[in-house]
Structure 1
Amino acid sequence: MVELKVRKFGNSLGVVLPKDVINRLHTKDGEPLFLIEAPDGSYRLTSYDPAFEKKMAKAEDIISRYRNTLHTLAK
């Protein structure tokens, strides 16, 4: 467990992430992080984008349905 302190940044509140947490999240300055609410009301901070997964699932569906067409177009 890592304890974080909420601090004021201008008109907003934020937390400073320790270097080891940043390394474990595989993130860096300017990259987005996602705070995901779980069904039990808890939260999870992650660099994983759930919207991106939905887009990739749709792309994989299209690729599998049109595999032959895409193969022909790739020539």
Structure 2
Amino acid sequence: MGIGTSIFLLAVGAILTFALDASVGGVNLDVVGWILMAAGLLGLVITALLWGRRREVVATTTEPVEYRRVEERRDVAPPL
């Protein structure tokens, strides 16, 4: 789940919990809103942890690079 999806779930959950005053038969919209906000928050935390791991610095070797000399021969005819 990405950052955008997590924020979307948080927003929809907050709207269902705090702004909407409707009732649907057999469904408590306040509970659904809290569940969506919890899922959005959990997704946001997991995404932040994964992004933090991805940005770690990788140690590089300090050994010098081996250079090779390449010569081009122009006295050979191209293949037919």
TM-score over 0.5 for the pair = no
Which fold has the larger relative contact order, with Cα–Cα distance below 8 Å and residues 6 or more apart in sequence?
2
Name whichever structure is richer in strand by fraction: 1
Q: Which structure would you say has the larger Rg?
A: 2
Name whichever structure is richer in helix by fraction: 2
